[in-house]
Each structure stands twice: as structure tokens, then as C-alpha cells.
Amino acid sequence: MKVMAFIILLANNIGAAHANTIDNLVSKPMQVGETSRMTYLFWDVYDATLFAPNGNYSADSPFVLKLTYLRDLAGDDIAQRSIEEMRKQGFTDEKKLALWLTNMKRIFPNVNEGTQLLGVRNKAGGSVFYSDNKLLGEITDPGFTKHFFDIWLSEKTSEPEMRKELLAIEDKS
């Protein structure tokens, strides 16, 4: 009987650990705005959701961006697209971009429909990436963190509607 109770307890803890991933990454996480869907041409690519302490986003404080993929993509393609988006926002230091691309290619896995990737801006200003409750890797450069998350959260984003939804920004028109 004790063995069965231990197995049930262990199973419950494993389930709780998976369910509480975001809870373990940011203090008192709450969703900031709405979940937003990225669509390219007529393909749904991923759903994005932003979490921050008490739902209060600040670029200078910890937060979690969760991407739930809706199609299969190669990790190298995700990394390359991230670099393209940083360039679109005006970042032109090619040495840093090359280094960041190498790091992202090392970290980002191939994804399938349903894969969830978590990008975390930690207290030190670095970026930490997780998938399925597993640490994928970290880039400690605060410059990378700023430019990477600006892909979604900057006023210069190529997807302003997504930004508005993620940050709960109301139209002033």
C-alpha cells in the first residue's frame, strides 16, 4: 500500500511540476493581455501568450513569453527568422547577430504542432528557453534579450496587432 501511495504522490507531483512551469519561472505570474495568433500568409504558425508578475509587464523585469506552435518548423528556421526580425527593427551589428544566430541554432529545437516553447527574461536580464519543462539553453547577453523579445513587444515590431493583444493595449482611435 505504501508503494502505491508513493506512486500516486509522485505522479501528482510530476503533473503539478509540468503545470506550474511558468509559476516556477516568474513570481506570481499572470497573463498580461490576450493570447495572440501569428499567421503568415494563410498559415497559422503559433499562438503567443505573455506572462508577468501580477500581470504587470515591464521590459526591465522578469517575464515569460509562451509560444504554442501550430505547425512543424525547423529550429534553424526559427533562429534565422528571429535574426531577420531583429534586422527589421534596425539592429545592424552583424557580429552580434552572427553570434546570436549560432546560439539560437544551438538552443532552438525543431517543433511540431502542439510544441510549447517558453522564453524567459530573467532577473539578470538574460534569456532562458524551455520546452516541455526542459531547459533548452540560455543566452546571458542583455542586448540579445532586449532585441529578441522586441520581436513581439517593441513598438517597432512587424506585428503591431499581436503586440497590442499581448500587452492589452487599447486602440486610441
- pLDDT tens string 91-106: 999 999 999 999 999 9
On whether the CB atoms of residues 129 and 106 are closer than 8 A, the answer is no
**Which phi and psi (to 5°) does residue 124 adopt?**
-80, -5
Q: Kindly tell me if the per-residue pLDDT of 173 is higher than 80.
A: no
Residue 104, in any domain of the structure: yes
Mean pLDDT of 149-172: 93
DSSP string for residues in 86-118: HHHTT---HHHHHHHHHHHHHHPPPB-TT-EEE
Residue 13, in any domain of the structure: yes
CATH number where 103 lies: 3.50.70.10
Look at residue 172 in the predicted model and tell me its pLDDT.
67
Euclidean distance between CA atoms 83 and 94, whole angstroms = 10
Grid cell, residue 110, equals 525543431
Quote the domain boundaries for residue 141: 2-167
Grid cell, residue 165, equals 493583444
Chain segment 53-71, per-residue pLDDT in tens? 999 999 999 999 999 999 9
Residue 54, in any domain of the structure: yes
Residue 172, in any domain of the structure: no
Q: Kindly tell me if the per-residue pLDDT of 123 is higher than 90.
A: yes
**Which phi and psi (to 5°) does residue 164 adopt?**
-60, -40
Q: Which residue type, as a one-letter code, is found at position 47?
A: D
Euclidean distance between CA atoms 10 and 66, whole angstroms = 26
Domain count, the chain: 1
DSSP string for residues in 37-91: EEEETTEEEEEEEEEEETT---TTS-EEEEEEESS-B-HHHHHHHHHHHHHHTT-
Residue 121 is given by DSSP the state: E
